[in-house]
Amino acid sequence: MERRGEEVELEKSVRRLREKFYGRVSVEEAVLLMRRYHNNHAMVCKVIVLCREQLGDADPEERRTLEHDPVVKKVVEKLKQEEEQQKQKPGLDCESDKDIEAIAQQLMVLPLTERNLRMFDHASRNLIPSAERQFACQACDSTWWRRVPERKQVSRCRLCGKRYDPVPYDKMWGTAEFHCPSCNRSFSRAKNRLPKVLFASLEHQSTGSTVATCLSQGSLALCDLDELLLEDLAEESEGSED
């Protein structure tokens, strides 16, 4: 159980570091830095922004040590498998990401576009801009709210595992119960056993260019982020046993 908790903390910090740089930090480099600095993604982010021209390759001895670390191996395999699954989907276009191979070297040559300046500004302030969105799975008749990164508004249904785009702002709804003052009767869609989903989310069509960070901002549900990540790790373990 202690090892599983260690995996959760490492995966959370890796996901957050990668999201801050829009996925330009590779899984291996992110895991290496998080392991070296005890999951302190905020500090590592500042080092990359302020001293990126001085960042070099990791020490070979350190890499060899980490290769035998079971926690590192588990997280690297999981995140790399997620990336491979994204690449196998039709309509994938990753040409624009081919020149992204290292952290600091690439960040130095990025053009000063509005988007890249915004990325560095948010990273320097340790920010991942978020939005609170509603998601709905019609097949499972399930609806939930999540705080997700503005850049990648995607959430997974905990019942069927499918990933969805958010419900459009003008189609969102809430839970209401009505009381009749005349007959003192209360009624609601739930009491009348009507479907929970009024407007279904569209299934997310990934381009393969986004990183696996939809869990990085946490949940507005009763469960916490660790529970969601543990479910992901459990699914990965079950899949590897089949």
The pLDDT profile of the chain, 242 residues, written as one tens digit per residue, is 567 778 888 888 888 888 888 777 888 888 888 888 788 887 777 767 655 544 444 556 666 666 677 776 776 777 677 767 666 655 434 333 333 234 655 566 566 666 766 777 777 666 677 788 999 999 999 888 888 887 778 888 888 888 899 999 999 887 778 788 888 888 777 777 888 888 999 998 876 544 444 443 444 554 555 666 655 555 444 433 43
What SS3 class is residue 212? coil
pLDDT the model gives residue 138: 92
Task: Answer for the pair 29, 103: CB distance below 8 angstroms, yes or no.
Answer: yes
Domain ranges in the chain are 2-128, 129-242
Helix 70-87 to helix 27-36 angle (10° resolution) is 160
Considering the entire predicted model, what is its pTM? Answer: 0.48
The residue among 200, 232, 236 whose CA lies nearest residue 215 is: 232
Phi, psi of 133 (to 5 degrees): -125, 155
d(CA 157, CA 124): 33
Phi-psi region at 218: left, alpha or beta (left = phi > 0; alpha = psi -120 to 50): left
**DSSP letter assigned to residue 242:** -
d(CA 172, CA 220): 15
d(CA 3, CA 21): 28
β-strand partners of 136: 143
pLDDT the model gives residue 167: 93
d(CA 211, CA 66): 23
pLDDT the model gives residue 54: 47
pLDDT the model gives residue 208: 56
d(CA 46, CA 50): 6
β-strand partners of 180: 185
The residue among 150, 134, 138, 130 whose CA lies nearest residue 203 is: 138
pLDDT the model gives residue 108: 63
pLDDT the model gives residue 226: 60
DSSP string, 123-189: HHTT---EEEEEEEETTTTEEEEEEEETT---EE-TTT--EEPPPPGGG-----EEEETTTTEEEET
